[in-house]
Amino acid sequence: MEKTVATCSAAPSKAMVRLYIAVIAVLAFTGFGQMPIFKRYYLADIPGLGWSANFFVTHALHYLGASVLFFLMAYHITGYFLAGRHSCTLTKSGWTRVIFLAGLTVTGIFRVLKNMPDILFSPNFTMFIDFAHLGFAMLFLFSCLGFLIFRTGWLKEVTHN
């Protein structure tokens, strides 16, 4: 059994964890909002959620959330390599999340490039990127739900023998 920790120097603060969870929630909500499901299934009819049927609003919020996620990823990767890699290491669930986040990041970057007016992708590549982004999002969200249920953390202490 791996001993997961929240006290090593690479572990994020509670405020950073809350920000990460909020950003992931915003990205999940606005990501699904990119598909026209909120209006179709009357979610936008719920008082206060009318904005969710507006593609441009959900699109801008998704880009804003992705920017915050990039900042959080860069901040924690830098902190891990500068301070924490000698005292902590990633668990198997941590590596799983990193791989799924990397897939989401790469496919998300290609989706942004796809939306640029001067960059053209073939229809098959565009469809592949769209499905890969959705697939990585689903894998990430379901794996995080499983890791939450089984209480597996990102980091574990390095034991020196």
**Residue 78: inside a domain, yes or no?**
no
Whether residues 155 and 105 fall in one domain: yes
Q: What is the pTM of this model?
A: 0.87
**pLDDT of the residue at 10:** 63
Distances (CA, A) of 100 to 39, 141, 159: 29, 9, 27
pLDDT tens for each residue of the chain, 161 residues long: 444 444 566 678 899 999 999 999 999 999 999 888 999 999 999 999 999 999 999 999 999 999 999 999 999 888 888 876 667 888 899 999 999 999 999 999 999 999 999 999 999 999 999 999 999 999 999 999 999 999 988 888 777 65
If asked whether residues 20 and 61 sit together in one domain, one would say: yes
For residue 60, tell me if it sits in a domain: yes
